[in-house]
Structure 1
Amino acid sequence: MSVVGKAETELLLSPAVVPVCALLPLLLTLSHACPKECTCNSNTKVVDCRGRGLYDIPRRLHPDTQELYLQDNRIRGLGSMAFRDIPLVRILDLSNNSITSISPTALLGLRTLQRLSLAHNSLRELDKRLLGPIRSLSHLDLSHNRHMNSFLFCFLPTSLWGLHGAMGESLRNLSHLGLAHNRLTRLDRSLLENLGHLDSLTLRGNPWRCDCQLIGLKLWLETYLFKGGVVDEVLCSQPAEMRDRDLQKIPYQLFHACMTTSYHYLFANIHHLESERLLRGHTHGNHVHPSSHTLHCEPKQKQRPVNLRHAIATVIITGVVCGIVCLMMLAAAVYGCAYAAIMAKYQRELKKNEELAAAQGADHATADEKEPLENAIA
């Protein structure tokens, strides 16, 4: 052994160094000790931080934590990768705080999350990337967010006013969805159709607008209940004649007026899809930096007038409808003329036959008169 190697060995085995090496595991354990604001159970891997007046997520949580309870605090926002220290958490309860904004990457890394509660907060909208990496979520509670009037992704216009279907992929395995006591007026049927495992749904306490655009929700609810799903109620707030009536019990006859305005609804959907496509293309070109700690939404744009493409589509569809009506009228006229010509010909033939029959009758009468006269002369 060289002199240098021997010196290093003696240094490592010296009494001053050995205790430090022995303390390394202890130091690593202490670095992930239970936060002083919380109560931890190492056996059940539960961290309870309820009602401690917290303004932020506690740091140095143990990485084996599976349940984290943070309700009844004063947390106002969730920054990027706020729970990176606990990637194995299955239950996360953030209810009854003051959360107004959530970073799109706040839940990044929580691939095993099963239950998430954001109830009783002040959320306005969510970004679709928030739940993107999570496929195991089975319970989502967003009830009692009085400012949430659209539950949209921040880059979509407020005119959509409903849950958007693009989030359906992240919620495919949901068994419970809580949306009660918000300010929702509509709900996108395309999102609900993706929730194939949904067992219970809460919708009460929202100012539902029971117009033609809510027929899709009514149809989905009937199928959902027929399959054994559980839903509380959808009480209409508007229009006035349907106020306080349950959408599930309103007969379809009351939506008869929707038939006369169906083409307006069609054009509205076309305009909505076109706007969404343009906005998606815009957002793909302007990605939010992952280091942002809050959800910065783009300013809401004013509704623009219908563009040239929509005007041309309207003219084309109107022309097609008018053309079909004209063809039907032309066919009716041709049919009427043909029928009149056939009837006239029939009448002429009938009259001709009657005159011929009368002439033949007269000839027979003349022949009968001449025959007795000839017999008498003979």
Structure 2
Amino acid sequence: MLDEGLCCRAWAMKGVLLLVSSVGILLPSVGSCPKKCLCHPSSNSVDCSGQGLSKIPPDLPPWTVTLLLQDNQIHWLPALAFHSVSLLTTLNLSNNSLSNLAAEAFYGLPHLQVLNITQNSLLSIESSFAHALPGLRELDLSSNSLSSLPTSLGRPWKNLTVFAMQQNHLLHLDRELLEAMPKVRLVLLKDNPWKCDCHLLGLKLWLERFIFEGGETDGAICRLPEPWKGKDLLSIPHELYQPCPLPSQDLAPSLVQQPSATQQDAQKSPENSSGQQDPLECETKPKPKPTNLRHAVATVVITGVVCGIVCLMMLAAAIYGCTYAAITAQYQGRPLAPTRKSEKIGSKEPMELMDTSPA
């Protein structure tokens, strides 16, 4: 009986050892940790920061919820760059060399809530950015080279609460983009070369309503034009903003009817000759009337003057004619009486002759 008990215990120990060894063999294949990274299964986080990486590690554990990739040398994100870690909620890509993002770089991350891409060299972002990240709550794009943002995201960013765009090259920011973030409560805009002209009036009006409703912002400090340099956008009165001109509507007739004159004007303009024309430039002077309109006005004026002169000449001729007719009638009427007397005298002369004639 004792030998049988010992045998059972021995077989049980062998089974436990076999189970442990099999689990040890299977675990690396299921949740292996990339080289140069530190994996923390207890917090579902992977730390690959400061390792000189030039691309996203291909063998990230599928259970990863927090991925730290800051302080590396990643310069490009291909499409579906994070498809193997679809459970991500936090992604830090700050202080890399990112200059471009593929249109579908963040596709496959429906649970991502925090995205940090600060201190990179991004030049633009796609309008489909919101489609890939519907659950995003915090977006930090500070310290990049963004000179413009898409006018529309295509769909509302319903969950976004923090939107940071500090230290970029933004001159203008479309109001429609901000209105696609109904839940945003913190907007950071400082250290951009804001051009406080008519094109920034929409941002001013949106910020005023945003602050009134309890939102927080660090303000947009104007760098251009010179009179508003260093002043907060919100401190400039509304009355100083004029509606932006619509050159496409005003100049369309002249472009169709007189293309040669338009081309000459375009060649003479300093913006076209230097090649640095600002498409968002707000005109401070009133726009000249189109050439065809000026010609029409001149024609009307000249025609009116000529018609007036002709009318005056006709009036003078009528007055002269009437006066001449009156004078002529007056002088023609005077010699009528003597002729009648002469006729009477003439009628008497034959009688006298008859009396003096011999019987």
Q: TM-score, normalized by length of structure 2?
A: 0.62
Secondary structure of the 1:169 match is coil
- The corresponding residue for 1:159 is none
How far apart are residue 191 of structure 1 and its match? 1.3
Instruction: Give 2:147's aligned residue.
Output: 149
Identity of aligned residues (%): 36
Change (3 A) 1:303 1:96: closer
Residues 234 and 195 of structure 1: CA distance in aligned 2, closer, same or farther (over 3 Å): same
Q: Give deviations 1:29-84, integer Å, cap 9, x for gaps.
A: 33531112111111110111111111111121111110001001111110121111
Q: Report the Cα distance in structure 2 between the residues aligned to 1:130 and 1:23, rounded to whole angstroms.
A: 43
Q: Which residue of 1 aligns with 2:10?
A: none
Do the aligned partners of residues 123 and 263 (structure 1) sit closer, same or farther apart at CA in structure 2, a change above 3 Å counting?
A: closer
Paired AA for residue 36 in structure 1? K
CA distance in structure 1 between the aligned counterparts of 2:151 and 2:98, rounded to whole angstroms = 22
CA shift at 1:135, angstroms? Answer: 1.2
Contact 1:168 1:192 in 2 (8 A): no
Change (3 A) 1:128 1:55: same
Instruction: Give the structure 2 partner of residue 236 of structure 1.
Output: 222
Cα RMSD (Å) of the superposition?
A: 3.1
Separation of aligned partners in 1, 2:238 and 2:169: 25
Q: Identify the match of residue 224 of structure 1 among 186, 194, 210.
A: 210
Q: Structure 1's 46 and 211: CA in aligned 2 closer, same or farther, altered over 3 A? A: same
Q: Which amino acid aligns with 2:70?
A: Q
Which position in structure 2 is the counterpart of 1:247? Answer: 233
- Give the alignment of 1:267-278 within 5 angstroms: 267=249
Task: Structure 2 unaligned segments of length 5 or more: list them.
Answer: 1-17, 253-276, 280-288, 298-359
| Alignment pair present for 1:213 and 2:199 | yes
Counterpart-to-counterpart distance in 1, 2:245 and 2:75: 45
> Which amino acid letter does the alignment assign opposite residue 175 of structure 1?
T
Q: Kindly indicate whether the alpha-carbon contact (under 8 Å) linking 1:107 and 1:131 is maintained by their aligned counterparts in 2.
A: no
1:168, 1:191 within 8 Å by CA — same for their partners in 2? no
Matches within 5 A, 1:86-165: 86-145=85-144, 147-151=145-149, 163-165=150-152
Q: Which residue of 2 aligns with 1:264?
A: 246
CA shift, 1:303, in A, is 11
* C-alpha distance in 2 between matches for 1:93 and 1:109: 17
Letter of the structure 2 residue corresponding to residue 178 of structure 1: A
In 1, distance between residues paired with 2:54 and 2:165?
A: 25
Report whether the alignment pairs 1:179 with 2:170.
no
Conserved 8 A contact 1:133-1:170? no
- In structure 1, the residue matched to 2:355 is none
Q: CA–CA distance in 1 between the matches of 2:42 and 2:23?
A: 23
1:72 maps to what in 2? 71
Q: Which residue of 2 aligns with 1:29?
A: 28
Higher relative contact order (CA 8 A, sep 6+): 1
Q: In structure 2, how many angstroms separate the alpha carbons of the residues matched to 1:265 and 1:141?
A: 36
Instruction: Answer whether contact 2:31 2:63 (CA < 8 A) is retained.
Output: no
Q: Secondary structure at the match of 2:184?
A: coil
The residue type equivalent to 2:246 in the other structure is: H
The Cα of 1:265 is off from its aligned counterpart by 7.2
CA distance in 1, matches of 2:248, 2:181: 25
Q: Distance in 1 between matches of 2:278 and 2:193?
A: 23
Q: Distance in 2 between matches of 1:71 and 1:164?
A: 29
How far apart are the structure 1 equivalents of 2:161 and 2:85? 24
Q: Distance in 1 between matches of 2:202 and 2:127?
A: 22
CA radius of gyration, larger in: 2
Aligned-pair distance for 1:264?
3.0
SS at match of 2:91: strand
TM-score w.r.t. the length of structure 1 is: 0.59
Q: Which amino acid aligns with 1:83?
A: F
1:125 Cα deviation after fit: 0.6
Aligned residue pairs total: 243
For the residues of structure 2 that align with 1:249 and 1:303, how far apart are their CA atoms? 25
Give the CA deviation at 1:25: 7.7
CA distance in 2, matches of 1:85, 1:43: 19
Letter in 2 for 1:59: P
Alignment gaps of 5+ in structure 1: 1-18, 152-162, 271-301, 305-313, 323-378
* 1:192-223 per-position Cα deviation (integer Å, ceiling 9, x unaligned): 11211001000000001111111111110000
Q: How many Å separate the matches in 2 of 1:34 and 1:177?
A: 32
| Deviation sequence 1:309-328 (CA, Å, 0-9, x none) | xxxxx99xx9xxx9xxxxxx
